[in-house]
């Protein structure tokens, strides 16, 4: 295996961002004030995914006052989508560890140190995440804990544990740490799932790289010593946003389950995905006696089960589109 990382740096903290210049100062201040990092060689990189606000100026302002032993670098990634921003971050990172923080994350002041310690203690860990707590602008609705994981809130207790990728039990890309080698050796440069875009709500882009890393034999861990706070504005608790989120998370389920499936397994995976979620959808309807419209949380669950049930058809539709596009290109070139 060819070594591809710069051993001069221990860890790169990568911040993919899009039109969140108002959020960046809080995050950068947290990073500039990290503790127990005196012995670490590390850097921060901001990946601007085509922002139209003053993101670049915000980063420049912080570059002018950056610490002498900490580099802050800025990159513009013009290919839209969170998956492409992360791929650019991996290419530019000079650390053999990469810690991803979303622009609305607020890491605890020992987050970087705890991420590095865990890497040393768990050499077979290809990726790990920690506790992600909600920092809510308004109080969430009753029963919100049932769906909080969809908003990247993860609180799995005080003991380390292994995630179960085979059941799609994985951490979000927010506040995730990976070994650059594990990523570069196994994650394709062209993602199947690019992340939420205008007119394209399908998600799953944060799980896709982890499935490839796990297939290669790396472990995916939960490290409770890493604490992050996810800022959640009031609009993310509104009905329209939550139902769009449920739909986007559901429609990617079949594609995620197919990523590491062998060719002969794919028809089985497609059928099981449909039938399993049909059962969940039906049970949910019976449980709430068709009155889930009055309960936002149960309505969210209903939308997720329905979209998961429809995900095989969405996947097959995308395959047909790609093949038709390829045929069109061939005919145009003749």
Is 61 contained in some domain? yes
How far apart (Å, rounded) are the C-alpha atoms in residues 117 and 294? 47
Classify residue 4: in a domain, yes or no.
no
pLDDT at 270: 97
**245 and 232, same structural domain?**
no
Distance separating alpha carbons of residues 38 and 160, to the nearest angstrom: 26
Residues 53 and 150 in one domain: yes
User: Is 315 found in the same domain as 182?
Assistant: no
Here the CATH number for the domain that contains residue 85 is 3.90.550.10
Task: Dump pLDDT digits (tens) for 57-70.
Answer: 999 999 988 776 78
Same domain, 231 and 260: no
Looking at residue 329, its pLDDT comes to: 67
Question: What Rg, from alpha-carbon coordinates, does the chain have?
Answer: 20
251 in any annotated domain: yes
Are 206 and 245 in a shared domain? no
Note whether 286 and 248 are same-domain residues: yes
**Among 199, 219, 237, where does a domain finish?**
237
Same domain assignment for residues 117 and 185: yes
Distance CA 128, CA 226 (A): 10
Tell me how far apart the alpha carbons of residues 10 and 94 are, in angstroms, rounded to a whole number: 8
**Rounded to 5 degrees, what are φ and ψ at 240?**
-60, -45
Domain assignment of residue 318, given as a range: 241-333
Residue 2 lies in a domain: no
> 77 lies in a domain?
yes
State the pLDDT at residue 2.
34
* Last residue in a domain, options 237, 254, 280: 237
pTM, 2 dp:
0.91
* Residue 300: inside a domain: yes
Tens digits of per-residue pLDDT, 133-155? 999 999 999 999 999 999 999 99
Q: Do residue 68 and residue 140 come from a single domain?
A: yes
Shared-domain flag, residues 44 and 163: yes
285 in helix, strand or coil? Answer: helix
37 and 77 co-located in one domain: yes
Q: Does residue 215 lie in a domain region?
A: yes
Q: Tell whether 250 and 185 lie within a shared domain.
A: no
Q: How far is CA 305 from CA 40, 153, 203, in A?
A: 45, 20, 15
How far is it, in rounded angstroms, from Cα 121 to Cα 43?
22
Verify that 126 and 259 share a domain, yes or no: no
What pLDDT is stored for residue 331 in this prediction? Answer: 64
Is 1 a domain residue?
Answer: no
The burial of 284, by beta-carbon neighbours within 10 Å (0-12 exposed, 13-18 middle, 19 or more buried), is given as middle
Which token pair is 191? Answer: 């993602």
What pLDDT, on a 0 to 100 scale, did the predictor assign at position 6?
47
Predicted pLDDT of residue 7: 53
Question: Could you tell me the end-to-end alpha-carbon distance of the chain, in angstroms, rounded to an integer?
Answer: 42
What is the DSSP code (8-state) at residue 169?
A: B
Average pLDDT of adjacent 10-residue blocks, the chain of 334 residues: 56 97 96 95 97 95 82 95 95 98 98 98 98 97 95 96 96 97 96 74 90 97 98 96 95 95 95 97 83 80 96 92 73 65
Question: How many domains are there within the chain?
Answer: 2
Query: Of 167, 202, 237, at which residue does a domain stop?
Result: 237
Please tell me the distance from the alpha carbon of residue 68 to that of residue 214, in angstroms, as a whole number.
37
């Amino acid at each position: 295996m060819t070594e591809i990382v710069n051993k001069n740096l221990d860890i790169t903290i990568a911040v993919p961002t899009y039109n969140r210049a108002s959020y960046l100062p809080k995050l950068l201040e947290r990073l500039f004030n990290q503790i127990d990092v005196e012995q670490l060689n590390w850097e921060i990189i901001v990946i601007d995914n085509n922002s139209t606000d003053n993101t670049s100026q915000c980063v420049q302002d912080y570059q002018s006052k950056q610490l002498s032993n900490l580099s802050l670098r800025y990159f513009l990634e013009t290919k839209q989508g969170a998956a492409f921003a992360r791929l650019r971050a991996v290419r530019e990172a000079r650390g053999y560890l990469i810690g991803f923080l979303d622009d609305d994350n607020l890491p605890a002041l020992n987050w970087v140190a705890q991420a590095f310690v865990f890497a040393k203690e768990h050499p077979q860990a290809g990726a790990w995440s920690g506790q992600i707590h909600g920092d809510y602008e308004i109080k969430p609705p009753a029963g919100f804990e049932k769906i909080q994981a969809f908003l990247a809130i993860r609180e799995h207790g005080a003991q380390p544990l292994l995630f179960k990728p085979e059941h799609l039990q994985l951490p979000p890309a927010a506040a995730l740490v990976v070994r650059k080698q594990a990523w570069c050796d196994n994650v394709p440069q062209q993602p199947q799932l690019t992340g939420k875009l205008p007119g394209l709500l399908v998600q799953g882009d944060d799980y896709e790289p982890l499935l490839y890393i796990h297939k290669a034999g790396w472990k995916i861990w939960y490290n409770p010593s890493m604490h992050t706070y996810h800022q959640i504005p009031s609009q993310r608790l509104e009905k329209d946003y939550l139902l769009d989120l449920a739909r986007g998370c559901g429609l990617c389920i079949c594609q995620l389950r197919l990523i590491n499936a062998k060719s002969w397994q794919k028809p089985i995976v497609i059928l099981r995905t449909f039938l399993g979620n049909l059962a969940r959808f039906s049970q949910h309807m019976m449980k709430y006696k068709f009155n889930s419209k009055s309960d936002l949380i149960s309505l969210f669950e209903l939308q997720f089960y329905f979209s998961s049930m429809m995900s095989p058809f969405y996947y097959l539709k995308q395959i047909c589109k790609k093949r038709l596009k390829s045929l069109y290109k061939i005919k145009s070139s003749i």
